């Protein structure tokens, strides 16, 4: 197994662009296994200054996320959060990454003032090895519930609902 450490961000940190703790730019550090479980797999250390840069720049189809840490400023102090899930969505027409930490809290490192709930169309990109993703989809309404809701609506509106509920096999 080969270990590779390659990141433009290492040079950026060395050149004092981060000026701790005066910057609010996130610092993302990950360890990724590339090449699968085979004899020729490698371990890579990846650093990024943007969550979306990290999420869109790593091929999770062939790479396995082992560890992901994200340092962000919270109330004026640097806090390191261990990330288990990386999601990508859209905010104001731009791609945005949302991280889910080990406490199952969603946060957006690139826009810390924006609640993660405002990011539309979240798609799970990857999970850390050994982590089971949290299912946060809204519950699907059953046909029985739709029928009950339609009957209740008909009863409260005098028996003439504007859009009666019809139970079909595909709805």
Which whole number is the average pLDDT over 132-147?
A: 67
Is the residue at 93 inside a domain? yes
Is the residue at 67 inside a domain? yes
* 102 and 80 in a common domain: yes
* 45 and 101 in a common domain: yes
* 115 and 80 in a common domain: yes
Is the residue at 71 inside a domain? yes
Phi, psi of 162 (to 5 degrees): -65, -40
Cβ contacts of residue 119 below 8 Å, gap of 6+?
89, 90, 91, 96, 98, 108
Is the residue at 133 inside a domain? no
* 162 and 120 in a common domain: no
Report residue 1's pLDDT band, with 50, 70 and 90 as the boundaries.
very low
Cβ contacts of residue 151 below 8 Å, gap of 6+?
165
Is the residue at 156 inside a domain? yes
More confident position, 57 or 31: 31
Q: Which structural domain, as residue segments, surrounds residue 148?
A: 139-171
More confident position, 6 or 57: 57
What is the number of domains present in the chain? Answer: 2
* 146 and 123 in a common domain: no
Tens digit of pLDDT for each residue in 69-85? 998 877 777 788 999 99
* Model pTM score: 0.67
Is the residue at 82 inside a domain? yes
């Amino acid at each position: 197994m080969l270990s590779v450490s390659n990141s433009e961000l290492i040079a950026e940190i060395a050149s004092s662009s981060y000026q701790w703790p005066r910057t609010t730019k996130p610092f993302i550090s990950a360890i990724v296994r590339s090449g699968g479980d085979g004899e020729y797999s490698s371990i890579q250390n990846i650093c990024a200054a943007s969550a979306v840069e990290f999420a869109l720049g790593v091929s999770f189809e062939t790479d396995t996320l082992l560890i992901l840490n994200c340092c962000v400023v919270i109330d004026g102090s640097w806090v390191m959060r261990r990330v288990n899930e990386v999601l990508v969505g859209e905010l104001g027409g731009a791609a945005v990454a949302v991280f889910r930490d080990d406490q199952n809290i969603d946060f957006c490192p690139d826009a810390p003032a924006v609640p993660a709930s405002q990011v539309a169309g979240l798609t799970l990109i990857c999970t850390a090895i050994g982590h089971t993703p949290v299912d946060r989809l809204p519950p699907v309404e059953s046909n029985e519930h739709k029928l009950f809701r339609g009957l209740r609506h008909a009863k409260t509106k005098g028996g003439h609902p504007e859009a009666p509920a019809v139970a079909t096999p595909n709805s």
